Every structure is written in structure tokens, then in C-alpha cells.
């Protein structure tokens, strides 16, 4: 065996192996490419407390308002700021990931209006290509008597792909829901504690360049659940995080199976509470848990009757989440412990 030839062959093999690795890496990167720029709303031009119309170069970069005055929530703002994190005008909620999320009105009981976020895709969709898309959503609800922004959960929240930008300007009429979406949450998005994965796949019938997030269905085609019963105008507000569109089946988080149904008819009282919280309307044997704002489980057990109560007087004052599960259904309700 010629040692010089062996060394030369080994060197050539290593070059080929490196080239193959680079090609494979590039192929995998392309397959898993997310066509949504700034998918978690982390990149921003500034950190200000405000309620305004957004443009691609303001607020969360690349994103813009497609209807109404959408909101960009950031943890860099003071606690309790209008668009701060975790406490803000709409809810008490930490991001699914990172330090920010977006929000929009997704149901208006009186006027039927909606708000929408839009973004230009990093590349147009290819006609005939299957795409997979997803985002995480949360039903905003403060449940502390300090905000009238939202107390209705709704169905229909999803993604509509478009050919053109629909930048909303001050004075423009609000967009009319088109009763169609490429990806949508068909059930009522009622979880106020955890983030819900909304996902689906579709075949592109046009070279779409933009995606629009919100509720694209009018009131007649939207199912609702009252999280509370107030005399003020009823609205639904949804938080959005971690948006993804990819031609690869493993490029975006995708939900498996059928979404679990919410436990409707359950009422928590009083809220805010001081020494005791009660639940009524529980199916017998419902599993109940109390978690703090960091998600730590403080108590868990089964309710033996339709009404359940527990002493919370020893807990620190602040925000908590009460989780319920029974027969494949689940629900989460936030409550506040006051002084």
C-alpha cells in the first residue's frame, strides 16, 4: 500500500464528507425554514408604553396593523404598564417564549369588529405546495375587576394568507370578516392560563405574500363563551406568540389529535378573593389544581361534589391559576388574592 496515495485519498474523502455535510445541513435548514420574520415579536424598534397603529418598521419589526389598534406587549416596560408583561391592560400572562407577544381584539359583541396583525412572508408561497402553519394563542382575561377589555372567549382565531398588504391607517374603516381562514382554531379558545397551539396544513392556491392573524369570522359564525357576565360591552381579546409557516412537515409545531373541550358552566367566586375560593358547576370527580404565577403546583386533588371550596388565606397575595380536568375536558381560570 502506497502511504502517499493513502494520505491523498483520505484527504479527498474528508473534503467530500465536509461538502456532503454542508449540503445536508443547508437542505435541512431550507426544509425547516420558517417563512415568518420575527415570529415571536422579540425584535422591536423601541420599548414604549403606547396604543397605536403599527408599521413594518415600528413596534415589532416586520409586523404591521391590518385592522384596528393592535398591541405589542413587552417585558422591558414597567410592571402593570398598558402593554407590559406579564401584567397589562388585558391580562396577566407570560410569553410562550422570549420576552414579548402580540394581542388583538378578536370578538366584539356589539359592533362585530375585529383587529388584525399582518406580516410579509420571507418568500411567496409556491402554488400547489403544501404548507404547515401554527401559532400559540391565549384567551386574555384579567379577572380582577380592573379591566373591561375582554370577558368573552371565542372560536375562529386563525391565519388568512393574502396577496397584498392591508396596512390599516387612522380613519380607515375596520376590515369586514370574510368568513374564511386557511388555518383556524375551530373550537372556542377559552384557556386563559396556558398557551394553546393552533395549527394546520393547506395547499397554496396562490402565490401568497402576506399572512393576517385574528378572527376572520363574523359574529354569526363565531361561537363564544362568557368568562364573566358584565354589563359593559362584551369583547374577546387574544394573545399571539411564536408564529410559524413552513413547507416542511417538521418545520412548525403541529398539534396532534383533537383539541380538548373546555369545561363550560364552571364559575369561580369570589374573585378577587381573600380567604377562600369556591367553584360551582363542577362535574363530580373533576381534578383541580392551584398554581402560582410561575406555574408551580401548590395544591391538587379531586372534587367530590358539584361545589368545591378551599382555604387560600395562607397564600401570598397576587395572581394564581386554578386548573380543572375531567373526562378529556379542561379549563383554567385566573384569580387574584387581595389584601
Q: What is the DSSP string of 289-338?
A: EEEETT--EEEEEE--SS-EEEE-TTSPSEEEEEEEEETTEEEEEEEEE-
Q: What is the pLDDT of residues 234-271, one digit of tens each?
A: 899 999 999 999 999 899 999 875 444 456 678 888 88
3-state secondary structure 130-193: EEEEEEEEEECCCCCCCCCCCCEEECCEEEEEECCCCCCCCCCCCCCCCCCCCEECCCCECCCC
Q: Choose the weakest-confidence range: 57-71, 97-111, 131-145.
A: 131-145
pLDDT tens string 281-317:
888 888 888 988 766 778 888 888 778 889 999 999 9
| Residue 326 clears pLDDT 60, i.e. is over it | yes
Mean pLDDT of 86-111: 94
pLDDT at 89: 92
Instruction: Give the domains, in start order, of the chain with CATH numbers.
Output: 63-246 (2.60.120), 267-337 (2.60.40.10)
Amino acid at each position: 500500500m502506497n502511504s502517499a496515495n493513502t494520505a491523498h485519498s483520505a484527504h479527498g474523502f474528508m473534503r467530500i464528507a465536509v461538502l456532503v455535510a454542508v449540503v445536508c445541513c443547508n437542505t435541512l435548514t431550507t426544509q425547516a425554514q420558517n417563512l415568518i420574520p420575527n415570529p415571536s415579536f422579540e425584535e422591536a424598534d423601541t420599548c414604549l408604553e403606547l396604543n397605536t397603529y403599527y408599521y413594518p418598521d415600528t413596534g415589532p419589526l416586520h409586523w404591521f396593523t391590518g385592522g384596528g389598534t393592535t398591541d405589542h406587549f413587552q417585558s422591558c416596560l414597567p410592571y402593570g404598564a398598558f402593554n407590559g408583561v406579564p401584567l397589562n391592560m388585558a391580562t396577566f400572562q407570560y410569553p410562550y417564549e422570549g420576552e414579548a407577544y402580540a394581542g388583538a381584539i378578536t370578538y366584539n359583541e356589539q359592533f362585530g369588529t375585529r383587529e388584525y396583525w399582518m406580516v410579509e412572508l420571507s418568500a411567496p408561497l409556491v402554488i400547489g405546495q403544501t404548507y404547515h402553519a401554527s401559532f400559540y394563542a391565549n384567551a386574555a382575561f384579567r379577572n380582577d375587576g380592573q379591566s373591561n377589555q375582554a370577558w368573552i372567549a371565542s372560536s375562529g382565531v386563525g391565519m388568512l394568507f393574502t396577496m397584498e398588504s392591508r396596512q390599516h391607517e387612522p380613519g380607515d374603516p375596520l376590515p369586514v370578516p370574510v368568513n374564511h381562514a386557511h388555518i383556524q382554531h375551530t373550537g372556542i379558545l377559552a384557556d386563559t392560563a396556558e398557551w394553546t397551539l393552533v395549527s394546520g396544513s393547506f395547499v397554496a392556491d396562490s402565490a401568497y405574500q402576506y399572512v393576517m392573524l385574528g378572527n376572520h369570522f363574523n359574529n354569526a359564525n363565531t361561537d363564544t363563551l362568557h368568562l364573566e357576565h358584565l354589563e359593559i360591552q362584551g369583547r374577546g381579546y387574544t394573545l399571539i406568540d411564536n408564529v410559524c409557516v413552513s413547507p416542511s412537515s417538521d418545520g412548525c409545531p403541529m398539534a396532534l389529535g383533537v383539541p380538548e373541550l373546555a369545561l363550560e358552566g364552571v364559575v369561580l367566586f369570589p374573585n378577587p378573593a381573600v380567604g377562600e375560593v369556591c367553584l360551582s358547576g363542577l362535574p363530580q370527580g373533576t381534578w383541580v389544581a392551584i398554581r402560582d404565577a410561575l406555574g408551580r403546583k401548590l395544591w391538587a386533588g379531586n372534587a367530590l361534589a358539584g361545589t368545591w371550596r378551599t382555604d387560600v388565606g395562607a397564600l401570598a397575595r397576587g395572581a394564581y391559576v386554578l386548573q380543572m380536568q375531567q373526562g378529556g375536558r379542561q379549563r383554567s381560570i385566573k384569580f387574584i388574592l387581595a389584601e
